[in-house]
């Protein structure tokens, strides 16, 4: 993954605009295990000193590759300044002669279907999203109860199984826009409800993404808590 062009940053203190060449940025990567394989997070970061007022500005541009070989989304932070234009990241796709035209057509069709289902999910109402999620758990063999639209006590869906042993799963649904990530406060709150009700497991399901802190909190609970973002939902539709 790479930045498609150089970036310009305006100093918040004096308004001076500085050029940052992409070759000057350092890049770190993080890898997460996900249902469709690995997700790779690319972090392009750096800092500059404003040549007019000597204010230090630090920034990071993040890009996510998931599944491997596919651009997922990107975001960024800038402290002490702001980007004149939103940074853009891209992945270069190199289909060589080993790939047949048929394989390429299959790839394009699968990508189109994922976009189609993603658009349907995004355009749902919050309540329809809860019913949509509940239906997934029904197909997984659970008996499902959808709570009232208000006063749900931090849970939207209660899924249970009695065989081979009694098992209760509580689900919180967050139908949010792609740019609005679910933060750790939501995840921590649901875990509190899980503990109070003595449910076996809890899941936060969103049409958006999760922050790093939210994922870290859930991962520390191991099998007690799971997070499903938009990509996890698309994978289950595909299956």
Q: Are residues 70 and 133 in the same domain?
A: no
- The model's confidence at residue 104, banded by pLDDT at 50, 70 and 90, is very low
Q: Are residues 91 and 16 in the same domain?
A: yes
DSSP for residue 115? H
Task: Report helix, strand and coil shares of the chain as percent, to nearest 5.
Answer: 30, 35, 35
Q: Are residues 138 and 200 in the same domain?
A: yes
Let me know if residue 45 belongs to a domain. yes
CA pair distance 143, 93, nearest whole angstrom: 44
Token look-up 């890009």 returns 63
- Looking at residue 110, its pLDDT comes to 44
Let me know if residue 146 belongs to a domain. yes
Q: Are residues 137 and 233 in the same domain?
A: yes
In contact, 131 and 171? CB cutoff 8 Å: no
> What is the chain's mean pLDDT, rounded?
84
Closest CA to 48 of 73, 70, 80, 75: 80
Residues with Cβ within 8 Å of residue 209, at least 6 apart in sequence: 73, 178, 181, 182, 229, 230
- The model's confidence at residue 113, banded by pLDDT at 50, 70 and 90, is low
Q: Are residues 28 and 87 in the same domain?
A: yes
Q: What is the pTM of this model?
A: 0.56
Q: Are residues 129 and 220 in the same domain?
A: yes
Q: Are residues 32 and 72 in the same domain?
A: yes
How many folded domains does the chain comprise? 2
CA pair distance 156, 203, nearest whole angstrom: 10
Q: Name 83's bridge partners.
A: 9
């Amino acid at each position: 993954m790479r930045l498609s062009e150089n970036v310009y940053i305006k100093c918040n203190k004096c308004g001076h605009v500085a050029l940052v060449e992409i070759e000057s940025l350092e890049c770190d990567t993080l890898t997460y295990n996900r249902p469709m394989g690995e997700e790779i997070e690319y972090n392009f970061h750096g800092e500059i000193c404003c040549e007019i007022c000597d204010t230090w500005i630090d920034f990071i541009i993040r890009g996510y590759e998931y599944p491997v070989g596919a651009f997922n989304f990107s975001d960024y932070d800038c402290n002490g300044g702001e980007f004149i234009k939103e940074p853009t990241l891209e992945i270069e796709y190199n289909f060589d002669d080993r790939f047949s035209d048929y394989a390429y057509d299959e790839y394009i069709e699968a990508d189109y279907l994922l976009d189609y289902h993603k658009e349907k999910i995004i355009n749902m109402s919050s309540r329809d999203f809860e019913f949509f999620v509940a239906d997934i758990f029904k197909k997984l063999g659970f008996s499902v109860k959808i709570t009232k639209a208000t006063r749900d006590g931090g849970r939207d869906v209660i899924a249970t199984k009695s065989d081979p042993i009694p098992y209760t799963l509580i689900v919180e649904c967050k139908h949010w826009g792609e740019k609005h990530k679910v933060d750790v406060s939501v995840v921590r709150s649901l875990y509190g409800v899980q503990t109070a009700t003595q449910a076996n497991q809890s899941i936060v399901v969103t049409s958006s993404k999760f922050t790093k802190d939210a994922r870290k909190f859930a991962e520390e609970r191991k099998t007690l808590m799971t997070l499903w973002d938009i990509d996890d939902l698309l994978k289950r539709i595909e299956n």
